[in-house]
Structures are given as structure tokens and as C-alpha cells.
């Protein structure tokens, strides 16, 4: 069985645990997710089954949308509510909508981000969270990320007794973006400590939260022998690429890993090749040879 599970990851579970459950439900080891969600975050987690695992990177490269909450007035070591508090500075007055919007706009577009210490980013072969747990200091690599938009979804609230202000946001962003770091950076722009206090992923890999199923619903589909009905097709991961139906002669070339001219698609970086209605592979344009060459082979059966 090949395809993509539009999974809704519930809070309290790791993404790896979701993959393990899917392996049991589909009875295959060829399972992979397209972008880790922290245990305290819920939402869309596309899970690839069978031949679709070859397309995990394409799903991960697709834009994501999140909604959540940022609390101004204190900060933690993990940049979310899972970590110990490391700073507190109660606000004497709430920030205005104008001030918040102006700060958010500074975090839109191509920006440089430093990943949190409690993250899976590797430095010298070791995860950053391993350094953090061992109490070791290490220089974290700067990364260029892209934020499509960062906006309020409702008016912020302020608690005058605690001096804490909550900002309710939605963000559309590219691969590699740490939303909890966006929360911390927003606080830095405003001059106060900040923490991401709630987060849900609304969209990933072109899959929206309204399309998703929980693990319990997935198990129910298995019990009713309906797993094939809940899987999205492999082509879902490649929806942004032009699909080219190849001829029988071209298919013989493709099966041997050969190059194709495809002059009508030379303005495209990549294309999906189909044969007999099935997605077969992704070809990438070679500017030097002016032909398309294999990038990812998916299904060479027949």
C-alpha cells in the first residue's frame, strides 16, 4: 500500500511515536513523516507510506501554516512552556496593536534565524538538545528562512495583575522555520521576554487540518478494511510540479534512467513524469545539457 496519511497529531505524542503506530496499522516499516511536531504541538503531520516515503523531502519543502499564542512577560529555556523559566519582566502596560503589527512585519520575508538549543539541529554530529541537556555551550548555526506572513488573528489580551500579554497569531512559513523562535524574536523586537505558549499546525504539504484523521480513526479504518480509502495518492506530494504523461518510447528511456528533452517544459526546474496514469518519477532540468535528468525514481513497475 502506497500513499500519504493526512494525520492529525494529538498533543502528548512525539512524531516518532505516530510513525511507530502507523507502522503497526499498515504493517510495513516503510513509513516516514514530513516534518517533526513537538509533543506539546498538535495539527497536520503528513505520514508517507510505502513508495511515498521517497517523497518526504518534497512534502517538507512545501509551505506550512500555524496558529498559536505568544505570551509576553517571561521566557523559558526551550522557548515554549515545556522548559524552565529563565526570565520574567512583567509589562507595565500592554503593547498596542500598532506596535505588535509593526514588530511582526520585521519578521516577514527572508530572515536569519538561530535555532533553539532544545532542537534536533546537528552541530558537529550532535543534536543541540543533547548539548543543552549536558549543560554544554555551542555556537548555533544561523539559518536563512522565509516567512510568508505573520499576523494577529484576534486582538491581544493583557492581564494587569500578572503583567502578561497574550498575542494570538497565524504564520505562513517555509521549511526549517522554528515558530517558537519567532515568538522569542518578536519579544526581542518589543524589548521584553517572550514564549510560545500554544501552537497548532493548520497546513503542511498542501494538506489542511480539515482533511486529517486521528490515529484512532486510522485504526478504525483498518478494522473496517478501509485503509485504502483514507490514503491520499502519492501525487499529493508533487501537486506543485507540472505532470508530464510520457509515451511508451519515452517510458523505455525513463526505466533505464535516461535523459528526456521535453522542450516545452524547459522553463520549469522540475517535472513529474506519469505513465499509464501513475506517478513514476521526478525529473530535474539540467541547464548545461538542456535536458531533464532523473532526480527521484518512485515506481518503475510494468
CA 175 to chain centre: 6
C-alpha dist (Å) from residue 155 to 129, 146, 151, 170 = 34, 25, 11, 12
**Are 149 and 171 within 8 A, CB to CB?**
yes
How far is it, in rounded angstroms, from Cα 136 to Cα 41?
27
- Active-site residue, 42 included: no
CB-based contacts of 199, cutoff 8 Å, min separation 6: 38, 40, 41, 43, 66, 67, 68, 69, 80, 179, 180
Which residues are bridge partners to 65 per DSSP?
172, 203
Closest CA to 260 of 288, 225, 285: 285
For residue 153, report the phi and psi dihedrals to the nearest 5 degrees.
-105, -10
How far is it, in rounded angstroms, from Cα 38 to Cα 28?
24
Q: Which of 38, 42, 80, 185 is catalytic?
A: 38
**Are 270 and 262 within 8 A, CB to CB?**
no
The one-character DSSP state at 121 is -
How far is it, in rounded angstroms, from Cα 2 to Cα 248?
24
Catalytic residues: 38
Amino acid at each position: 500500500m502506497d500513499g500519504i496519511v493526512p494525520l492529525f497529531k494529538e498533543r502528548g505524542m512525539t512524531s516518532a511515536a505516530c510513525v511507530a503506530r502507523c507502522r503497526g496499522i499498515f504493517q510495513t516499516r516503510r513509513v516516514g513523516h514530513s516534518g517533526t511536531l513537538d509533543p506539546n504541538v498538535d495539527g497536520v503531520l503528513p505520514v508517507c507510506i510505502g513508495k511515498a516515503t521517497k517523497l518526504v523531502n518534497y512534502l517538507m519543502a512545501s509551505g506550512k501554516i500555524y496558529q498559536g499564542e505568544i505570551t509576553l512577560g517571561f521566557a523559558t529555556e526551550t522557548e515554549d512552556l515545556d522548559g524552565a523559566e529563565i526570565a520574567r519582566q512583567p509589562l507595565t502596560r500592554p503593547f498596542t496593536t500598532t506596535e505588535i503589527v509593526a514588530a511582526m512585519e520585521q519578521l516577514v520575508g527572508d530572515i536569519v534565524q538561530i535555532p533553539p538549543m532544545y532542537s534536533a539541529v546537528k552541530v558537529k554530529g550532535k543534536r543541540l538538545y543533547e548539548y543543552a541537556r549536558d549543560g554544554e555551550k555551542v555556537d548555533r548555526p544561523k539559518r536563512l528562512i522565509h516567512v510568508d506572513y505573520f499576523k494577529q488573528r484576534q486582538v491581544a489580551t493583557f492581564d494587569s495583575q500578572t503583567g502578561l500579554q497574550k498575542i494570538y497569531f497565524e504564520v505562513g512559513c517555509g521549511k526549517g522555520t522554528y515558530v517558537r523562535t519567532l515568538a522569542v524574536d518578536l519579544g526581542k523586537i518589543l524589548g521584553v521576554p517572550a514564549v510560545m505558549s500554544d501552537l497548532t499546525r493548520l497546513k503542511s504539504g498542501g494538506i489542511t487540518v480539515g482533511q486529517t484523521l486521528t490515529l484512532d480513526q486510522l485504526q478504525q479504518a483498518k478494522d473496517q478494511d478501509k485503509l485504502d480509502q483514507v490514503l491520499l495518492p502519492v501525487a499529493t506530494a508533487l501537486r506543485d510540479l507540472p505532470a508530464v504523461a510520457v509515451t511508451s518510447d519515452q517510458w523505455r528511456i525513463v526505466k533505464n534512467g535516461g535523459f528526456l528533452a521535453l522542450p516545452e517544459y524547459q522553463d520549469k526546474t522540475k517535472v513529474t513524469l506519469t505513465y499509464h496514469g501513475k506517478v513514476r518519477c521526478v525529473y530535474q532540468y539540467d541547464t548545461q545539457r538542456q535536458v531533464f535528468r532523473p532526480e527521484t525514481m518512485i515506481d518503475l513497475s510494468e
